[in-house]
Chains A and B, each alone.
Chain A
Amino acid sequence: MRLLIIEDEARLSEILRSKLGDAGFTVDTAGSAADAKAALELINYDAAILDLGLPDGDGLTVLATVRRLGKTLPILILTARDAVEDRVAGLNAGADDYLTKPFAMTELIARIKALLRRPGGVLGITLDAGNVRLDTVGRELAIAGRPVRVSRRELAILEQMMRRFGRIVPKAVLEEKLYGIDEEPDSNTIPVHVHHLRRQLQTANANLAIHTIRGVGYILTEDKG
């Protein structure tokens, strides 16, 4: 997996390169908008991290150029600008995610992985979280290396949670993904499925935990207990 980091602060760029390298990415860096445009045109990166304050122009122009070239790679904006208007401008210009400085490296890596786990993303075919692996094409689930059989809907729920690992999955999103337009989900069916799924993960010794956030949805995290 190849990433491009567009960041003019050399020290930060270096740390990002090293940490993302440790996380298994191949990393290139660009220190200016011009370098970034050239690199993005030449190489098909799997994702890019973009700083907005560049010495030769706004990062948003890089974003616009890339999208004009028809490249759909996920781009995460990493910036010190945290006003809502800046976020909206960035996301409207075609960014896929937005993280403000200062940030935790773990969160950056998690977010990039989440971007890559999107359907069509590099990691979107096989999802990994803790000791759980889900093949989204073959619809096969393995926990600690052993295959586990769960129902179609529970697998779909798990897939949504693994794609947004560590972040909230609103109940509405699950309902939307699980049921067609014609099917009216019973308000109780999702909690029931989650309950089953939780038990099965436990039984198979998965080191993941599904937390219920009452009134909002669910969150899948690594189980520290």
Chain B
Amino acid sequence: MSRRIKSLQLRLTIELAALFLLASGLAVGGLVYSAWLTAGSVADRELGLRAEDLAHHVLLDQAGMPRLELSPSLRRAYDAAAEQSVFAIRDKGGRLVQASAPEFGEMVGRWPAADTEPSYFQLSGFGPSGRDYSGISVQLDSKAGALSVVVAQVAGGDQLVHSILREFVFDIAWYVPPFVAVALLLATYSVRRSLRPLRKASAQAGNIGPESISIRLPDADVPTEALPLVVAVNRALDRLEQGFAIQRRFTANAAHELRTPLTIITARLDSLEGNSKLDALREEVARMNRLVEQLLCVARLDSVVLDVASRVDLHEVAEEVVGSMAHLAVAAGRSIALTGADHPVVITGNAAAIGDALRNLVENALAHTPADTEVIVDVGPGGTLTVLDSGPGIPAQDRPRIFDRFWRGKGVRTEGAGLGLAIVMEIVRAHGATISASERVPCGARFELRFRPA
């Protein structure tokens, strides 16, 4: 197998199946073998007994010659099985006393005299029917003195062994395949069941991301063998979370620390008498101020879980944002208006965060809308906030990416750092709200925040 099997379950199943097959093969083989042995020794013993039985019936006749005197029942039995069972008896001098068949007696007559220790032999293709025989040759004492007794039995007629094997195969070996199947099923089930907590853990791990770093893998019911892995992963996550926290705190602190020097630069610049170069410098500093502010906002959104359970009046939020940004619009030669519902539109969320999101959208709109046009903030009675401008709009191919951090449109005046919409997106996500960017007719961009009703 060139490719290693990765599935624990499959591997266990295959290995267990192999083991079961091997073990049951060995067991069956062993049983058959020992049955053979048993059957063989039973047959040998029977031959020995028959030889003794025959020797027992040899007497001396009036002439002093040994003679076989079988009881009528025995004689009948031997006559009936003349083909199955053959024998020959010789006296001490090697003279044939009696043979069941003359040709057997003739053949045995050529053999050396038997020993008191029985010797076993096989005959193949003997007799008129050419059958295989197994037999015993032994020297036994009788009333007529020592005799060589040779008894043979047709090998194929070994009914006992056959019946033992048949019984074994039909009564016992039949159980092996179902047993293997049940054992495999049980093993599979138990592996599945003990892996279930691991599957749960991996589902949980799938949810871990930069926004949800505090999730930990559940270690309840995890098999002890896998527990160290789960524990180690959780510890690694602890360290990662710490790292993230440090990173975020660093961003927040850095942005915070930048504020004072920026304030000083801004103030110093303000106090210088202006020329065009100075104005350019002021613009740059203003941009930097804005960037620091947005970085702080992002760091704050990253580091604390937003409480979005308060009642928020979208109309009030929009009024506050439009009011606080009106002077910026006027100073930039643009206008801003609040339209739509003039009554409270209540949703569940975080007013400050929604205000931040709206402020970022309005800021973008003010940056893109041409001079002497109006940016409109519309409050929908169904829980929407829409910001409309009269600028160039958003190219359709850019729409999926505008909410990424630090993304900026190509060929667009690089005013911001590209954080504004990412901030909006974070806030939208925290609220379970949706945002859509589309084309405004006849021209301009349209951003709609749709909140879940309270």
Chain A residues engaging chain B, CB cutoff 8 angstroms = 9, 11-12, 15-16, 18-19, 22, 80, 82-84, 101-106, 166-168, 170, 211, 213-217, 219, 221
Contact = CB atoms under 8 A, between A and B. Distances in A.
A211 B263 contact: no
A84 B352 contact: yes
A104 B319 contact: no
Contact of A102 (B266, B300, B329): B266
A221 B330 contact: yes
Given A15-B268, A80-B259, A101-B260, A214 B330 contact: no
B330 A105 contact: no
17 contacts: A9-B264, A12-B260, A15-B271, A19-B267, A80-B260, A83-B300, A103-B266, A104-B270, A167-B327, A168-B322, A168-B324, A211-B330, A213-B338, A214-B339, A215-B339, A216-B322, A221-B330
A90 to B, nearest CB: 14
A18 B329 CA distance: 29
Given A105-B267, A211-B330, 19 more contacts: A9-B260, A12-B260, A22-B271, A80-B259, A101-B260, A102-B292, A168-B322, A168-B323, A170-B319, A211-B326, A211-B335, A214-B338, A215-B319, A215-B322, A215-B339, A219-B326, A219-B327, A219-B330, A221-B327
Contact size range, B: 20 to 34
B337 A214 contact: yes
Contacts of A104: 266, 270
Counting from the closest, the 5 A-B pairs by CB-CB distance are A215-B338, A214-B337, A168-B323, A84-B352, A102-B263
Given A213-B322, A215-B342, A12 B327 contact: no
B271 A19 contact: yes
B232 interface: no
Contacts of A80: 256, 259-260
Nearest to B350: A84
Contacts of B260: 9, 12, 80, 101
Contacts of A217: 323
B431 to A, nearest CB: 16
A201 B326 CA distance: 21
Interface in B350-407: 352, 374, 377
A22 B271 CA distance: 9
Nearest to A9: B260
Nearest to B333: A224
Contacts of B264: 9, 11-12, 15
B146 interface: no
A170 B322 CA distance: 11
B331 A213 contact: no
Contacts of B292: 102
Contact of A166 (B319, B327, B337): B327
Contacts of B84: none
B271 A105 contact: yes
A101 B259 contact: yes
Please indicate which of the listed interface residues A80, A82, A170 has the most CB atoms of chain B within 10 Å of its own CB. A80
Interface of B: 256, 259-260, 262-264, 266-268, 270-271, 289, 292-293, 296, 300, 319, 322-324, 326-327, 329-331, 335-339, 342, 352, 374, 377
A101 to B, nearest CB: 4
A103 B259 CA distance: 9
Contact of B326 (A15, A103, A216): A216
Please indicate which of the listed interface residues B296, B300, B326 has the most CB atoms of chain A within 10 Å of its own CB. B326
Given A11-B264, A105-B271, A168 B337 contact: no
Given A80-B260, A101-B260, A216-B323, A15 B336 contact: no
A18 B271 contact: yes
B326 A213 contact: yes
Contacts of B300: 83
A214 B296 CA distance: 31
A217 B266 CA distance: 30
Nearest to A12: B264
A168 B327 contact: yes
B23 to A, nearest CB: 71
A214 to B, nearest CB: 3
A221 B331 contact: yes
Given A213-B335, A214-B337, A170 B323 contact: yes
Nearest to B377: A215
A165 to B, nearest CB: 10
A19 B270 contact: yes
Contacts of B319: 170, 215-216
Contacts of B263: 12, 101-103
Contacts of B268: 15
Contacts of A168: 322-324, 326-327
Contacts of B337: 213-216
Nearest to A209: B330
A36 to B, nearest CB: 18
A211 B322 CA distance: 13
B413 to A, nearest CB: 22
A16 B338 contact: no
Nearest to B351: A84
B374 to A, nearest CB: 8
Nearest to A167: B327
Nearest to B353: A84
A215 B329 CA distance: 15
A213 B323 contact: yes
A12 B270 CA distance: 13
Contacts of A214: 335, 337-339, 374
B283 to A, nearest CB: 12
A103 B326 CA distance: 17
Contacts of A166: 327
A80 B354 CA distance: 21
A186 to B, nearest CB: 16
A221 B331 CA distance: 8
Nearest to B342: A215
A18 B128 CA distance: 141
A22 B266 CA distance: 16
